[in-house]
């Protein structure tokens, strides 16, 4: 064994090998890109802007609609990367090799998030490219649009980290996915059912998806429940809480 | 000691040969029942449906004040038990026994707020535009007294739908088409005979055509008869950032009548004018005074001006801004429960593959069809029962809490409430069966959960109801995806004679059972594919 390689580096290489040598993650990353672009294109295609009139829709946001579907595939990828080890009992072997619980969680987080960042960049750029073909007045040179694009990539990376944390806490792929999808999609459904505007705004501010996706808005910014960057901050707070929960469970519970 | 090592005696109730459906069912039920985690998950899902639904009742009170009593006045109830809007101006006299009212209409005009949405109820409206609404009405009316919600029959000219006969709020029959003008007047006639009122119209007063016959059960001997005018609020739909929104503002209609004739035992020397105000909110103001309407005789002509509507109330109708709640609004927690149940159903299928248990299962129950049917029956029955309990609590208790806190909930019949409760439990059961089938197809829990929750049910519903997609795309999503099944939550019918935003979540593009059929179609196809794959693939 090569003692010169520090423990963190070895753990990182081990996790990366696991990710790289299974077919699933690569397929899922491809699905993230294709599904995001396809849904974005479908959303952009249904919108007809009459020529000569002011477009009432936020074109950048519309052409990034696919992120709302792509995030689910990202969650599947992240949940599988952590949860599958518990399903097969591999986690006990992994923990024998890398006894540092926090080291393991950190390496898992890195090896999941970095490929997701790459795929998310491809998905977001592809969606905007399709949007430019279908929608008027959408330019990547616009600072707001750039923020929406960069923020969407960060958003997908945060979703991956959130899922890693939840999966480490609940230790089952399907259950982790249920928790994450519930957290993402149910706040908006509940807030739509609530007609009191005060409650609605508060729920939207708490919602990781509604607040997080505020980063995609380029028009009517004062109407948002939260400004774009603080909105992404809400998602980051949820992610931090999930990672903390995952770390605590991993540290203080036997696998 | 040796006795315990012997194989158990073969029971006479278990004949040799392939196991039947009953035994497969029992085996699968035992597998489900004895896993504590799954039972707990089902109970958690059930609790979530109730807890979220009931906790959010307060959040549904949408007028920004602490108590709903401050802003919601109950709507009147029509003869058939539905909530109605019954607000109009009425120039009336009494009629005892059988009789007839005839009148000629020569004009129907109106005015409406030029900037709807900016004028709140009870506030002054300054700018106005001349024009009628499609369902502005003026005509003749026979009504059981002046109480809002009482039985009536009317022959009316409308702003955009020709001459109509309408009675008891929900009934609407078409007469002569086209608008009323001086050059093409409309003669209207209502004849009362016992419990029945028959409406006629004519363009010349000579040749009359019967429009419809209304049976008004329990109509008293003495009724109010006369001329009325009313006009529902303006409805403006705006597509904007974050979807489209509806705004409304008050409007008025003015009908011009002449050749008014009454036959029968008529009381009173002259017409008495007055507003019937039964739309659950204060009348809008004009020139500092409530806009109640007016009645002006001049020579042989009578003009009647009124505002409001005589129609059934629908959620979020422009004329009844307060009455937006339906009994289904107490089911906000259903999706939270649904995600939990989908996870359980998917794991019920995929857990077998994880540890290779499926090979033992298939050795014991070699018939793939029987195994799949047993699994689907168990998960379907469990989720149906759990859903029935959860929804059966959430709806009646939620409605009770809402009404106790002064929040107006549109009343529905017991049959509709039962359809909502049983139908929602059925939707939960079919969703679980769909998740089970997808679990068998994909053989991976995470993939199955993602496919059903995201692609299948929750995301289409979310995009179809809440997010900022164009209306056509949203309608399409709620028509062709499994989320169409949530159409079962519609409790108030659409009415052709009410202009409103018939929009999700209160209204779906498909009817309650048609939407449910779409969901069942998906579940059936998924089960068929699961069966074929289970037969063709080695476990």
* CA distances, B329 to each of B226, B243, B313 (Å): 40, 21, 16
Contact criterion met (CB below 8 Å) for B439 and B478: no
Q: B70 touching A, CB under 8 A?
A: no
* Residues across chain A: 255
pLDDT bracket for residue A45 (50, 70, 90): confident
pLDDT score, position B247? 61
The residue range of the domain holding B483 is 21-62+324-536
Q: Is residue B72 part of a domain?
A: no
Closest CB to B56: pick one of A69, A72, A193.
Answer: A193
Pair B41, B103 in one domain: no
Pair B159, B292 in one domain: yes
Q: Is residue B79 part of a domain?
A: no
B contact residues 379-438, partner A, Cβ 8 Å cutoff: none
Average pLDDT estimate for A44-69: 74
pLDDT score, position B63? 52
Q: Is residue B491 part of a domain?
A: yes
CB-based contacts of A50, cutoff 8 Å, min separation 6: none
Distance from C-alpha of B391 to C-alpha of B386, rounded to nearest angstrom: 9
The kind and range of the H/E element at B276 are: strand B272-278
Q: Is residue B8 part of a domain?
A: no
Q: Is residue B372 part of a domain?
A: yes
| Mean pLDDT of all residues belonging to chain A | 83
We report the CATH number of the domain holding residue B266 as 2.60.120
CB contact (8 A) between residue A72 and residue B450: yes
Pair B451, B518 in one domain: yes
Pair B350, B224 in one domain: no
Among A217-231, B103-117, B371-385, name the most confident range: B371-385
Cα atoms in the Cβ-side hemisphere of radius 13 Å centred on B356:
1
**Domain ends where: B284, B312, B340?**
B312
**Domain ends where: B243, B277, B312?**
B312
CB pairs under 8 A between A and B: 151
| Mean pLDDT of all residues belonging to chain B | 82
Pair B221, B342 in one domain: no
Closest CB to B332: pick one of A61, A79, A193.
Answer: A193
Residue with more model confidence, A34 or B477: A34
Average pLDDT estimate for B31-35: 86
DSSP letters spanning A189-200? HHHHH---HHHH
Selected for mutation to probe chain B from A48, A174, A198, A200 (highest B CB count within 10 Å) is: A174
pLDDT score, position B243? 47
Other Cβ atoms closer than 10 A to A167: 31
Pair B191, B148 in one domain: yes
pLDDT score, position B24? 87
Tell me: pLDDT of B62 over 60.
no
Tell me: pLDDT of A41 over 50.
yes
**Domain ends where: B312, B337, B354?**
B312
Pair B352, B452 in one domain: yes
CB contact (8 A) between residue B445 and residue A220: no
Dihedrals φ, ψ of B293, to 5°? 100, 180
What's the structural domain count of chain B?
Answer: 2
B contact residues 218-247, partner A, Cβ 8 Å cutoff: 238-242
Tell me: pLDDT of B76 over 80.
yes
Contact criterion met (CB below 8 Å) for A105 and A247: yes
Each residue's pLDDT tens digit, B226-281: 999 998 877 766 554 444 555 667 788 999 999 999 998 888 778 888 888 776 55
Closest CB to B450: pick one of A42, A87, A177.
Answer: A177
Tell me: pLDDT of A72 over 50.
yes
Pair B352, B291 in one domain: no
Average pLDDT estimate for A54-60: 70
Please name the residue of chain A whose CA is at the shortest distance from the CA of residue B68: A196
pLDDT score, position B22? 86
Q: Is residue B330 part of a domain?
A: yes
Average pLDDT estimate for A36-42: 89
Among A207-216, B15-24, B83-92, B95-104, name the most confident range: B95-104
Please name the residue of chain B whose CA is at the shortest distance from the CA of residue A218: B241
pLDDT score, position B505? 74
Pair B212, B264 in one domain: yes
Q: Is residue B209 part of a domain?
A: yes
pLDDT bracket for residue B499 (50, 70, 90): confident
pLDDT score, position B411? 86
Pair B125, B100 in one domain: yes
Pair B27, B119 in one domain: no
Q: Is residue B408 part of a domain?
A: yes
Q: Which of B232, B244, B234 is nearest to B116 (CA)?
A: B234
Residue in the block written with tokens 């929960």: A245
pLDDT score, position B518? 94
Q: B52 touching A, CB under 8 A?
A: yes
Pair B130, B100 in one domain: yes
């Amino acid at each position: 064994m090569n003692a010169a390689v520090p423990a963190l580096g070895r753990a990182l290489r081990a996790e990366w090998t696991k990710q790289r040598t299974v077919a699933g993650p690569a397929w899922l990353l491809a699905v993230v890109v294709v599904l995001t672009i396809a849904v974005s294109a479908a959303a952009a295609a249904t919108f007809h802007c009459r020529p000569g009139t002011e477009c009432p829709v936020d074109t950048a946001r519309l052409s990034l609609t696919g992120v709302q579907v792509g995030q689910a595939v990202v969650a599947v990828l992240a949940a599988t990367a952590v949860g599958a080890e518990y399903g097969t009992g591999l986690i006990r072997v992994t923990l024998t090799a890398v006894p540092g619980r926090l080291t393991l969680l950190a390496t898992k987080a890195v090896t999941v998030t970095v490929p997701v960042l790459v795929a998310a960049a491809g998905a977001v750029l592809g969606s905007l490219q399709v949007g430019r073909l279908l929608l008027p007045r959408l330019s990547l040179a616009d600072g707001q649009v750039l923020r929406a694009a960069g923020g969407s990539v960060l958003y997908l990376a945060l979703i991956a980290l959130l899922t890693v944390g939840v999966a480490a806490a609940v230790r089952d792929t399907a259950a982790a996915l249920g928790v994450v999808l519930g957290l993402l999609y149910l706040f908006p459904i509940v807030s739509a059912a609530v007609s009191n505007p005060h409650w609605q705004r508060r729920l939207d501010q708490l919602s990781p998806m509604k607040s997080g996706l505020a980063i995609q808005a380029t028009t009517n910014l004062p109407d948002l429940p939260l400004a774009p960057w603080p909105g992404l901050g809400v998602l980051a707070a949820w992610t931090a809480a999930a990672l903390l929960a995952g770390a605590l469970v991993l540290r203080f519970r036997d696998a | 000691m040796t006795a315990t090592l012997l194989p158990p005696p073969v029971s006479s109730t278990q004949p040799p040969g392939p196991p039947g459906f009953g035994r497969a069912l029992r085996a699968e039920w035992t597998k489900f029942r004895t896993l504590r985690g799954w039972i707990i998950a089902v109970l958690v899902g059930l609790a979530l449906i109730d807890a979220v639904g009931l906790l959010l009742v307060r959040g549904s009170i949408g007028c920004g004040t602490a108590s709903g009593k401050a802003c919601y006045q109950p709507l009147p109830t029509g003869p058939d038990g539905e909530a109605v809007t019954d607000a109009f101006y009425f120039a009336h006299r009494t009629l005892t026994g059988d009789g007839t009212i005839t009148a000629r209409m020569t004009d129907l005009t109106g005015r409406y707020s030029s900037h709807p949405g900016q004028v709140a109820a009870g506030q002054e409206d300054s700018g106005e535009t001349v024009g009628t609404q499609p369902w502005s009405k003026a005509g003749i009316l026979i009504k059981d007294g002046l109480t809002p919600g009482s039985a009536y029959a009317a022959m009316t000219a409308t702003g955009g739908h020709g001459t109509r006969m309408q009675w008891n709020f929900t009934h609407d029959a078409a007469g002569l088409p086209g608008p009323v003008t001086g050059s093409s007047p409309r003669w209207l006639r209502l004849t009362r005979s016992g419990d029945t009122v028959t409406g006629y119209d004519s363009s010349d007063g000579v040749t009359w055509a019967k429009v419809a016959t209304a049976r008004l059960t329990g109509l008293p001997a003495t009724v109010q008869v006369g001329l009325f005018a009313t006009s529902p609020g303006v409805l403006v739909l705006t597509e904007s950032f974050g979807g489209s929104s509806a705004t409304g503002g008050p409007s008025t209609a003015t009908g011009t009548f002449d050749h008014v004739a009454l036959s029968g035992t008529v009381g009173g020397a002259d017409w008495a004018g007055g507003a019937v105000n039964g739309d659950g909110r204060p009348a809008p103001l004009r020139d500092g005074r409530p806009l109640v309407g007016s009645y002006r005789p001049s020579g042989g002509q009578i003009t009647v001006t009124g505002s409001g509507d005589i129609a059934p109330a629908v959620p979020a109708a422009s004329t009844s801004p307060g009455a937006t709640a339906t009994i289904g609004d107490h089911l906000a927690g259903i999706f939270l429960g649904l995600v939990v149940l989908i996870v359980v159903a998917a794991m019920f299928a995929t857990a077998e593959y994880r540890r290779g248990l499926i090979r033992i299962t298939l050795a014991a129950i070699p018939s793939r069809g029987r195994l799949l049917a047993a699994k689907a029956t168990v998960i379907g029955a469990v989720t149906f029962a759990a859903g029935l309990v959860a929804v059966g609590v959430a709806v009646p208790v939620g409605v009770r809490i809402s009404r106790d806190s002064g929040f107006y909930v549109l009343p529905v019949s017991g049959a509709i409430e039962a359809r909502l409760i049983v139908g929602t439990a059925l939707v939960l059961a079919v969703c679980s069966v769909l998740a089970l089938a997808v679990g068998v197809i994909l053989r991976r829990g995470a993939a199955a959960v993602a496919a059903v929750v995201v692609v299948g049910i929750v995301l289409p519903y979310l995009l179809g109801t809440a997010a900022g997609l164009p209306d056509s795309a949203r309608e399409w999503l709620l028509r062709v995806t499994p989320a169409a099944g949530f159409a079962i939550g519609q409790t108030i019918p659409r009415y052709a004679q009410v202009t409103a935003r018939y929009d999700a979540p209160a209204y779906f593009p498909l009817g309650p059972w048609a939407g449910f059929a779409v969901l069942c179609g998906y579940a059936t196809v998924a089960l068929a594919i699961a069966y074929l794959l289970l037969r063709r693939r080695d476990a």
